[in-house]
C-alpha cells in the first residue's frame, strides 16, 4: 500500500492559542517501504502519524492510500481508523490491562466478529512470530517492557493491516533490548512486506531502520532521503547537526584571499581551500559562510606535514572504540574523533582539517 500525503497542515487550538503542529507537508511513501519520521520532541511526528491513522483530522490537505482517498479537506472526506485498516503501536504499548495476552492480540479480530477458530489460529500464528506463545495466558501487568512490546506488535500484525504505524515503540526499553528489538522489527517488516511508518527521535535508530528518513523540525520537513544521503549531503544545518554522533561541527567561517589563494579563516588561523571546494566557495555571494565538518574528518597530530591548525585539548571523552576530543581553536569549540591514546587535557596539538570533506551552508545559524 502506497501512502501519499499532500499539502498536509494541522493546527491545534489550545489554551496557549493556535499551534501549527504540521505546516504544509507532502510525503510519498512507497509500497512496502520502511519509512522513518525523525525529529526532536514536539516537532509533530506523532501528529503526522495520527493523521495517517485517522486518529486526527487534518486542518488542510489530502491523504491517499494507493488510489483511495482516506482524507481530503476540500472534498470533506474522512475515513475512520477502522475503515483505513491501519495498525498502530504506541510508545506506552496501550495494552488492555483487563485482558490477558491472548485476548489483547485477539481484540481487533473479536471486534471484526471473526470466527472463533480462525481467531485462535491467527493469534497463535502472531504469537509464534513474536515468540510469545508461552505468555498467552498472562495479564499485561505481569509482563516486562520487552514482552509488552512484543504483544503490542503481535496485536498490530494479527489482522494484516494496510499500513503499519509505530510511534517511538522502543523508547521505553533499555539500551540492549532496544538494539535487539530494532533488529527484530526490521526483520519482521522485511518478512511481512507491509508499508511501515516509524516515528523516532533517535537518529541512530532511524539510520539503522529506515529505507528512507524524513527529518521534521517545528512541523516542517527539513529533508527526505536515504540514511546515506542524509549523512553525506545534509540539506541544512539542522539535518547536519541532528544526524551523526557526535554531531557535526558547525563553525562560522570567513573567506579571505591571501597570496592569490582563497583561504578559510578559523579563529586567528587560515587554511587554503582545496581545489574540490573552490567552485562552491566562489558561488557564495558573501565572504562568510557556515562550515560543517564531521568530527571524523579532523585528525590530531597527523604524521604528514600538510597545513595544520594549532589547538588546545579542552576535554576528552572515551566512546569505547573511539575517543571524542573537544578542541579549542582560538576560542572556537571543535569536536574531533580519534582512536589514539595520549590525549592529555590542556595539551597543545596540531590539527589537520580535511577541508575537502567540509559542508558549506549559506546564511545564518
Residue 360 makes CB contacts below 8 A (sequence gap 6+) with 277, 280, 281, 284, 289, 290, 291, 292
Positions 54 through 83 that interact with other proteins (CB under 8 A):
55, 80-82
Q: Are 285 and 279 in contact (CB under 8 A)?
A: no
Q: Which long-range contacts (CB under 8 A, 24 or more apart) does 266-270 make?
A: 266/291, 266/309, 266/329, 266/330, 266/332, 266/353, 267/309, 267/329, 267/330, 267/331, 267/332, 268/330, 269/309, 269/310, 269/329, 269/330
Return the residue of 29, 47, 152, 293 that touches ligand ATP, per CB under 6 A.
47
Using Cβ positions, the residue closest to Mg ion within the complex turns out to be: 46
- Indicate whether 94 belongs to the interface with ligand ATP (CB under 6 A): no
Q: Minimum CB separation from ligand ATP for residue 324, in Å?
A: 26
With 0-12 / 13-18 / 19 or more C-beta atoms within 10 angstroms meaning exposed / middle / buried, residue 259 is exposed
Cross-strand bridge partners of residue 19 = 12
Instruction: Give the Cα separation of 217 and 214 in Å (integer).
Output: 10
- Indicate whether 88 belongs to the interface with other proteins (CB under 8 A): yes
Q: Grid coordinates representing 135?
A: 505468555
Cβ closest to ligand ATP, residue 39 vs residue 295: 39
- Indicate whether 183 belongs to the interface with other proteins (CB under 8 A): no
Q: How many residues bind other proteins (CB under 8 A)?
A: 21
Q: Which stretch binds Mg ion (CB under 5 A): 45-53, 232-240, 303-311, 336-344?
A: 45-53
Cβ closest to other proteins, residue 151 vs residue 213: 151
Positions 102 through 161 that interact with other proteins (CB under 8 A):
107-108, 111-112, 155
Cβ closest to other proteins, residue 107 vs residue 238: 107
Q: Minimum CB separation from other proteins for residue 64, in Å?
A: 19
Using Cβ positions, the residue closest to ligand ATP within the complex turns out to be: 46
Q: Grid coordinates representing 199?
A: 516515528
Return the residue of 1, 37, 46, 122 that touches Mg ion, per CB under 5 A.
46
- Indicate whether 8 belongs to the interface with ligand ATP (CB under 6 A): no
Q: Which stretch binds ligand ATP (CB under 6 A): 11-19, 119-127, 230-238, 258-266?
A: 11-19
Q: Minimum CB separation from other proteins for residue 90, in Å?
A: 5
How crowded is the C-beta side of 92, counted as CA atoms within 13 Å?
A: 4
Q: How many residues bind Mg ion (CB under 5 A)?
A: 1
Q: Are 71 and 54 in contact (CB under 8 A)?
A: yes
Cβ closest to Mg ion, residue 46 vs residue 196: 46
* SS3 state of residue 49: helix
Cβ closest to ligand ATP, residue 202 vs residue 322: 202
Q: Are 213 and 225 in contact (CB under 8 A)?
A: yes
Q: Grid coordinates representing 208?
A: 539503522
Q: Minimum CB separation from other proteins for residue 152, in Å?
A: 8
Return the residue of 26, 57, 66, 98 that touches other proteins, per CB under 8 A.
98
Q: Which stretch binds other proteins (CB under 8 A): 35-43, 68-76, 96-104, 175-183?
A: 96-104
- Indicate whether 47 belongs to the interface with Mg ion (CB under 5 A): no
Instruction: Give the Cα separation of 363 and 311 in Å (integer).
Output: 27
In this structure, the dihedral spanned by the alpha carbons of residues 98, 100, 101 and 106, taken in order and rounded to 10 degrees, is: -80
In this structure, the dihedral spanned by the alpha carbons of residues 297, 303, 306 and 309, taken in order and rounded to 10 degrees, is: 60
Return the residue of 7, 26, 66, 96 that touches other proteins, per CB under 8 A.
96
Binding site for other proteins (CB under 8 A): 50, 53, 55, 80-82, 86-88, 90-92, 94, 96-98, 107-108, 111-112, 155
Binding site for Mg ion (CB under 5 A): 46
Binding site for ligand ATP (CB under 6 A): 12, 14, 19, 21, 39, 41-47, 201
Amino acid at each position: 500500500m502506497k501512502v501519499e500525503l499532500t499539502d498536509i497542515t494541522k493546527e491545534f487550538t489550545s489554551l496557549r492559542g493556535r499551534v501549527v503542529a504540521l505546516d504544509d507537508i507532502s510525503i510519498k511513501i512507497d509500497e512496502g517501504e520502511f519509512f522513518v519520521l525523525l525529529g526532536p520532541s514536539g516537532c509533530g511526528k506523532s501528529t503526522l502519524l495520527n493523521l495517517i491513522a485517522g486518529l486526527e483530522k487534518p486542518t488542510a490537505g489530502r491523504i491517499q492510500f494507493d488510489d483511495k482517498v482516506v482524507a481530503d479537506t476540500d472534498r470533506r472526506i474522512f475515513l475512520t481508523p477502522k475503515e483505513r485498516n491501519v495498525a498502530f503501536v504506541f510508545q506506552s504499548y496501550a495494552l488492555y490491562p483487563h485482558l490477558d495476552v491472548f485476548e489483547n492480540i485477539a481484540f481487533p479480530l473479536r471486534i471484526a466478529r471473526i470466527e472463533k477458530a480462525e481467531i485462535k489460529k491467527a493469534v497463535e500464528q502472531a504469537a509464534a512470530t513474536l515468540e510469545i506463545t508461552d505468555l498467552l495466558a498472562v495479564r499485561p501487568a505481569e509482563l516486562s517492557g520487552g514482552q509488552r512490546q512484543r504483544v503490542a506488535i503481535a496485536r498490530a500484525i494479527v489482522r494484516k493491516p494496510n499500513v503499519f504505524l509505530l510511534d517511538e515503540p522502543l523508547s521505553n526499553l533499555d539500551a540492549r533490548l532496544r538494539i535487539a528489538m530494532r533488529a527484530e522489527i526490521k526483520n519482521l517488516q522485511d518478512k511481512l512486506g507491509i508499508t511501515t511508518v516509524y516515528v523516532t527521535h533517535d537518529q541512530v535508530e532511524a539510520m539503522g531502520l529506515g529505507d528512507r528518513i524524513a527529518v521534521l523540525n517545528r512541523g516542517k520537513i527539513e529533508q527526505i532521503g536515504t540514511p546515506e544521503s542524509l549523512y553525506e549531503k545534509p540539506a541544512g544545518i539542522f539535518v547536519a547537526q541532528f544526524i551523526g554522533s557526535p554531531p557535526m561541527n558547525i563553525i562560522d567561517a570567513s573567506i579571505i584571499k591571501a597570496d592569490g589563494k582563497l583561504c578559510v579563516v578559523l579563529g586567528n588561523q587560515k587554511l587554503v581551500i582545496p581545489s574540490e571546494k573552490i567552485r562552491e566557495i566562489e558561488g557564495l555571494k558573501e565572504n562568510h559562510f557556515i562550515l560543517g565538518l564531521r568530527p571524523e574528518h579532523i585528525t590530531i597530530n597527523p604524521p604528514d606535514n600538510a597545513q595544520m591548525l594549532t589547538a588546545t585539548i579542552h576535554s576528552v571523552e572515551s566512546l569505547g572504540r573511539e575517543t571524542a576530543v573537544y578542541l579549542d581553536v582560538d576560542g572556537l569549540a571543535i569536536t574531533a574523533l580519534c582512536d589514539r591514546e595520549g590525549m592529555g587535557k590542556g595539551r597543545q596539538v596540531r590539527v589537520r582539517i580535511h577541508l575537502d570533506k567540509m559542508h558549506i551552508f549559506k546564511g545564518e545559524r
